[in-house]
Amino acid sequence: MDDPNIIYGGDFENNYYLNLSSIGELILKNLKLGGSKHGFINGQTGESWSYDEILKFSIKISQALNNVGVKQNDIISIVAENCHQYMTVACGTFLMNAILAPFNYTYTKRELKHAFELINPKIVFVSSSTVKNVGSLSKEFSYMKHIITIDNSEHESAIPLKKFIENYSNASFDLPQRSIKAIDKEKKTVIIFQSSGTTGLPKGVEITHMNILSCKQGYNDDFKYLKPYGENLSNLGIAPWSHVMGFMGSFFALLSPERVHIFLPKFEGETYLKCLEKYKVKIIAVPPPIIVFLTKTPLFDKYDLTNLRVIFSGAAPLAKDVELAAIKRFNNRIIICQGYGMSETTLGVTGTFVQLKHGSVGKVGYGMYAKVIDSNGKSLGPNKVGELCFKGSRIMKGYFNNAKATAETIDKDGWLHTGDLGYFDNEHQFFIVDRLKELIKYKAFQVAPAEIEGLLLSHPKIKDAGVIGIPNNVVGELPFAFVVKLPEVELTEKEVQDFIKENASNAKWLRGGVKFVDEIPKNPSGKILRRELREAYKISRAKL
């Protein structure tokens, strides 16, 4: 590209993964490399699986899916906590060239209903904690043929995974032919992640085979930076696999059998520290709240964490002060690297495994282009703040069944407009400044204010509402609501917060608080002026 303000991340070091025919071929080749090695470990239970066991179980799942009529473009969903079976279901789906759609297991019944109506999954794998909600909803959707409990729990509306495999995996099919058959890997969707937008409820982000193969190639090319830390590196994952960072990080680790990957179903402080010590973990990829925990926990000195050498931070911005405090807590033995990405970019599009300038999210990834533009779309030079845009093989295919939203995000020249403000310096390191989008970032989750507002407006005592995110050093941002009550009604802050707790998942709770006001500021077309709400919040805090 001729524009000097467009930054290119450089060519891949080789094209091995880019030349594979599909994700199915990637799975078959890399799991076979692992053989009998036990390199995938549940840190909470101590259970470990060999790569041979994972491959064998994944193939059985493929056979069972095939024998209940799953076709190449059918969608398989998972609504469950992280576990070994979760990843084998994912691999089994990919081996069939079917499509995986993971959902957040903390979704309420209302949120699940929207997700199912959007995606239309043919089969849903659940856990004991989610089967009740999914089972009750399945009666409304004729396209949902089977519900399978991934942890083999019993429920009247579902079949345990063990029984599903026993009943349907007895007849084989030509797995290599299905997995390696020629497909258009640049257009064929392999996974659909949920991504909240500014308009409210989640959209489906379509990720292709080539998107993942490109990320995997870049991931492997970056391994050279880890050589100083020795062989057989162990890493620990904590992010939920319904989230792009959690899923892609653990999936790539699973397909890197030269390393050991430990995962946890959920975060619990002391369990996390025990795993770091027990497995002599050298690398972790975490959202900023985990780094805050490591920096502040009084349990820190109880465990030997001297093996930890690299912390990779992603999913939300990491404050420079937190970064420096963490390095100091580890007596300067660690490096902290940041990356930047979103569901729409498959994983990170900037980042590295070497320490860069504090606050930097790294350099542009292999095969990717980046630019910063002003409000008129003009590209900007170094140290000038504008909207970050990216182009290349990691950019999503689009939003599932939503051409309008896709066109609003990816322009006619293929540039994805992130809605985030940032800049690059003279050394082409990128920095995030703020967000143009209205999304609230709570921990690693994206929360759409419009969704909470819509829910608040369904309350019989609420006339109007506006929601913003307020800064919090521990979790990023907290949802805060301005509420207009109907005339002559009694309504307390706690009632409003409890209403959201009952109807929305954890990340959307109004932890920031509630303030009752006379009106919500809006422009002539009726759009909420969140900038004025933020100013009103600052003024109210200043008076305290």
Dist. CA 514–CA 520, nearest whole Å: 13
| Consecutive H or E run containing 514 | strand 513-516
The three-state (H, E, C) secondary structure of 447-506, written as one string = ECHHHHHHHHHCCCCEEEEEEEEEEECCCEEEEEEEEEECCCCCCCHHHHHHHHHHHCCH
pLDDT (0 to 100) of residue 198: 42
pLDDT (0 to 100) of residue 199: 46
Residue ranges in the chain modelled with pLDDT below 70 = 171-180, 182, 196-201, 434-437, 523-527, 542-544
pLDDT (0 to 100) of residue 197: 47
The rounded percent of the chain whose pLDDT value lies above 90 is 62
Query: How many Cβ atoms sit within 10 Å of the Cβ of residue 304?
Result: 12
pLDDT (0 to 100) of residue 215: 94
pLDDT (0 to 100) of residue 449: 85
DSSP designation for 250: H
Contact 337, 353 (CB under 8 A): yes
The length of the chain in residues reads: 544
pTM: 0.84
DSSP strand pairing (310-313 vs 283-286):
parallel
> 31-54, pLDDT tens digit by residue?
999 999 998 999 999 999 999 999
pLDDT (0 to 100) of residue 202: 79
pLDDT (0 to 100) of residue 273: 96
